[in-house]
Structure 1
């Protein structure tokens, strides 16, 4: 019943968006070449699907995203669990992280291209940078706030440090780490598209640039909508994985 209501809410939300979109065009009397209507964009989406262009670029983008995002998540969680348990070490690392974190991954693109060349790697590295910091900071914060009762029980049972991290600290911190995973999905997906608009010849970001250069704003808008929907589905996928892990640990 809840899933059915969520589906209805999605339909209503998209209906409102399309209605506002069409009203803006009608009231502003925009030329279709400058601001394509929902029908024109829908036709553009169908044309991209029929010739296979959309899924070809999406396949490239999703592979880059998974490579950068998953590697960032694994490394950030491992380091976060370690740094959170060693306050003196984190005290030295934290200022460095706070200096690097606000810098846009795109700002590193000149160096990334020089170091990693042209192709998939620059986009993957940009995604890695965008996803790494949210997960690392949420993990460290969660570890530092673990209930002391859990640690006292582990100490009484003489649980070794690795087992303590794996069996007690990580499960206790996972709900907070999951918040970082959701944030990282959004930021990584945004910077994937931005990276593809700059230094690649494939992917959804490149599709936007290519359509713009051809003055096909209907295809530009079609690509933008597909990018947005893909980002939503990726976030929902993270939510499903989160719920699955919580069920394993008896939290659902």
Structure 2
């Protein structure tokens, strides 16, 4: 009971302290309230944006782009990671190319994505895909390489097909590392979509923040920032719950 109280009470108190510091800073600041709004003003403006549906529209647009780009990265990156981790020749061929492209910031691709796809959802989805694809591929390959070889020897003794090796050995053994990679990557994807929306689209939380800044509505800017943080917290919570599923941890990833 005390442990649960600490888990929920201490973070709650941290948020309260942050709000108090924010309120005090806004109250004693020399800046105008329109430039540095306090918590109450931001809460009021958030209610306005929520009531007229503006906030929901922009949040839904951002979530759509993240979901689509992240899903594409999963269905392409994880199978490629399994392929590279299981077959050394594939790893020798593909790893240098991936390691060359991986350090390039997704934001550096913005001019190219806008040139190729124009203005709209596709450039943002493409950037989210890039931000998610490389970490997922590399993490999956590393997890497959780390699987205890004993499992593959047993599979060979029982004449497992390639499909059975993947479905009964590789996927269950790599799940812990894969879920951890998903948890990290979804945060990266969420960061990228906000930046991409400031340049390539006319909707989404990133666009809301940029448009509000141009209109000197700093309360709306902070509303967008708060919603970004809340959605990020929710996504991280979902991934953390997935990592706690007991059926995930059936084997060891160490040799």
2:14 corresponds in structure 1 to 13
| Secondary structure at the counterpart of residue 198 of structure 2 | helix
2:82 corresponds in structure 1 to 81
The 1-side partners of 2:97 and 2:20 are apart by 47
8 Å contact 2:172–2:250 — kept in the other structure? no
The 1-side partners of 2:138 and 2:250 are apart by 26
Provide, for residues 186-225 of structure 1, a one-character-per-residue CA deviation record: whole Å limited to 9, x for no partner.
1000000100010111111110011111100011011111
CA shift at 1:25, angstroms?
3.2
| Secondary structure at the counterpart of residue 198 of structure 1 | coil
The 2-side partners of 1:193 and 1:4 are apart by 34
CA shift at 1:24, angstroms?
3.1
| Secondary structure at the counterpart of residue 201 of structure 1 | coil
The 1-side partners of 2:196 and 2:36 are apart by 25
2:177 corresponds in structure 1 to 176
Provide, for residues 97-124 of structure 1, a one-character-per-residue CA deviation record: whole Å limited to 9, x for no partner.
1111111112111221222232111111
1:192 corresponds in structure 2 to 193
Provide, for residues 123-174 of structure 1, a one-character-per-residue CA deviation record: whole Å limited to 9, x for no partner.
1111101111111111000000101221111111111112101111111011
Which moved further from structure 2: 147-156 or 204-213?
147-156
Equivalent pairs, count? 250
1:120 corresponds in structure 2 to 121
Please tell me whether residue 35 in structure 1 is matched to residue 31 in structure 2: no
2:146 corresponds in structure 1 to 145
**CA 1:248–1:96 in 2, change beyond 3 Å: closer, same or farther?**
closer
CA shift at 1:95, angstroms?
1.5
CA shift at 1:10, angstroms?
3.2
Provide, for residues 72-118 of structure 1, a one-character-per-residue CA deviation record: whole Å limited to 9, x for no partner.
01211100011001122212211211111111112111221222232
| Secondary structure at the counterpart of residue 150 of structure 2 | helix
CA shift at 1:28, angstroms?
4.5
Q: TM-score under structure 2 normalisation?
A: 0.91
The 2-side partners of 1:3 and 1:59 are apart by 32
The 1-side partners of 2:54 and 2:235 are apart by 20
The 2-side partners of 1:248 and 1:181 are apart by 14
CA shift at 1:5, angstroms?
4.4
Q: Which runs of 5+ in 1 are unaligned?
A: none
The 2-side partners of 1:5 and 1:32 are apart by 35
8 Å contact 1:138–1:179 — kept in the other structure? no
Provide, for residues 2-29 of structure 1, a one-character-per-residue CA deviation record: whole Å limited to 9, x for no partner.
6664332332121121122223335544
1:90 corresponds in structure 2 to 91
CA shift at 1:71, angstroms?
1.2
1:101 corresponds in structure 2 to 102
Q: Which runs of 5+ in 2 are unaligned?
A: none
